[in-house]
Structure 1
Amino acid sequence: MTNIVVAVKYVPDATADRKFNADNTVDRENVDGLLSELDEYAVEQALQIIEAGEGEVTVLTVGPADAADAVRKALQMGADKGVHVVDDAVHGSDVFATAKILAEAIKKIDHDLVIFGMGSTDSNTGVVPSLVADLLGVPAVTFGSKLTVDGSTATITRDGDTATLEVQASLPAVISVTDQTDEARYPSFKGIMAAKKKEVLEWSLGDLGVDGGSVGSGAAWTAVESNEPRPPRTAGEIVTDEGDGGTKLVEFLASKKFV
């Protein structure tokens, strides 16, 4: 029997008009969001492991109220229950604070294995799984293109530039999987209806014993000092070839410091 926690993130839709707040943090409330596509692979791997044996899948997210949509999508796919850490003090947290919150939440959930996607589609740092593993004091086995669990051992295949490695870890462990694993399933109508009856717990930082002053933008190791919209695209320049087209092209490229 293997109990799995899958950490997922609610991210702004990449096709939406994304903006920053006045404090230079990403606006996550006034833009359409969704479950990070890369996290869907983690949910799929967890479901396959449980379907091959016994156990349950708990989906965990940290974020604003709308982040519940990410949990709901995972429940529709087949996860058993969800946990949503929501607290105003979380706003602006960096990867270190996020890892701290996740680790404290995971400690409260019965688990043998924690699975992450390879990164989030909004920031894509890919470091949170390792940070969480360090805080939990368990092995981190990351960037797996294939994941199997046999008893108390998890094995991944990691594809590198020059070699493919097989890496094992004893459970409990933290795993991250890439988008080269099996395609995530679509929620079925039955799954969508069943998700409405599944338990979703809401925890605050106080429930986790985390001081609000230790997370959020005020505790972040880095800060964005300013931002400005990308300038509109200018009209292209047409170079008429009158026998000297090559020369004109080189002059244009040189003026833009391309050559």
Structure 2
Amino acid sequence: MNILVCICHVPDTTTKIKFTGTELDKNGVQFIIGPYDDYALARAVELKDASGGKLTVLNVGEADTEPTIRKALAIGADNAVRINAHPKDAYFVAEQIAAYAKDKNFDMILMGREASDYNGGQVHGMVAEMLDMPCVVPCMTLEVEGTTAKMGREIEGGKEYVECEMPLVAGCQEPISEWKIPNMRGIMMARKKPLEVIEPTTQSAPTEVVAYELPASRGNVKMVDADNMDELVRLLKEDAKVI
């Protein structure tokens, strides 16, 4: 089985972040593999170990993302690719992934349901459209029988189980697998595994960041008696302006 796992390089979810104009201030920020991507990677390692084949990880990022990529290699990927560009927006990232993957005959392309920095949840769908593949999101269980992938996901009011022929794209989340922690042997082997750096197909992106702003501070809470519905409606209309 030939699997591609796309990983993002994001701030640790416990890190306090700040911005300087249109840029993230990276001073003192710890970066990690995107938590949802970690689930995708863990399941890909299990599938490769069960059936053999090759597992490639891919990241769209600059040189500072390489420690994150090496961690993915230590967890169990066979080789890695870094597309040497700042991930400007979801379309740009999807375009780079699709351009790399289009002639590689991957059986499946796995990634997280969304990145934990922007929470866009767009890249998997764009990649699938660009490569003319089916896409399943969120993918919460994944089994393979021959050339068929069997997946489960939660929908409103229940669960849904789908099957489709590979190749496919899936946006993964828990409980598809459990995060894997690299051991010392994996870390040592990761130093020798190949990490290919390629240039992007384009430097242009359809969107740009204009500014980052903190949300407005919340005002004082106004308590309304449970029986005073008229006052509640008045406050929602005149003060909150939500109705």
The alignment's TM-score, normalised by the length of structure 1, stands at 0.79
1:169-225 alpha-carbon deviations (Å, 9 max, x no partner): 1111111211222211211111111111101100111xxxx232x33xxx31xx443
The structure richer in strand per residue is: 2
Runs of 4+ in structure 1 deviating by more than 6 angstroms, as ranges, are 230-234
Q: Is the 8 A contact 1:118 1:179 kept in 2?
A: no
Structure 2 partner of 1:6: 5
1:58-103 alpha-carbon deviations (Å, 9 max, x no partner): 000001211112211111111111001113xx45x21111111111
Structure 2 partner of 1:226: 211
Which residues of 2 match residues 29-108 of structure 1 at below 5 A?
31-87=29-85, 90=86, 93-107=88-102
Amino acid at match of 2:101: I
Structure 2 partner of 1:129: 124
Counterpart CA distance in 2 for 1:159 and 1:60 is 27
Amino acid at match of 2:92: A
Which residues of 2 match residues 110-259 of structure 1 at below 5 A?
110-205=105-200, 210-212=201-203, 214-215=204-205, 219-220=206-207, 223-229=208-214
Counterpart CA distance in 1 for 2:189 and 2:212 is 43
Unpaired runs of 5+ residues, structure 1, are 238-249
Counterpart CA distance in 2 for 1:86 and 1:54 is 29
Q: SS state of the match for residue 125, structure 1?
A: coil
Counterpart CA distance in 2 for 1:148 and 1:157 is 9
Amino acid at match of 2:129: D
Amino acid at match of 1:117: G
Q: CA RMSD in A?
A: 2.8
Q: SS state of the match for residue 138, structure 2?
A: strand
Amino acid at match of 1:211: T
Counterpart CA distance in 1 for 2:20 and 2:80 is 29
Amino acid at match of 2:143: T
Identical residues among aligned pairs (%):
30
Change over 3 Å in CA distance of 1:7–1:28 after alignment to 2: farther
1:8-47 alpha-carbon deviations (Å, 9 max, x no partner): 000022322322343x243457732111111110001101
Higher mean Cα deviation, 52-61 or 98-107? 98-107
Q: SS state of the match for residue 142, structure 1?
A: strand
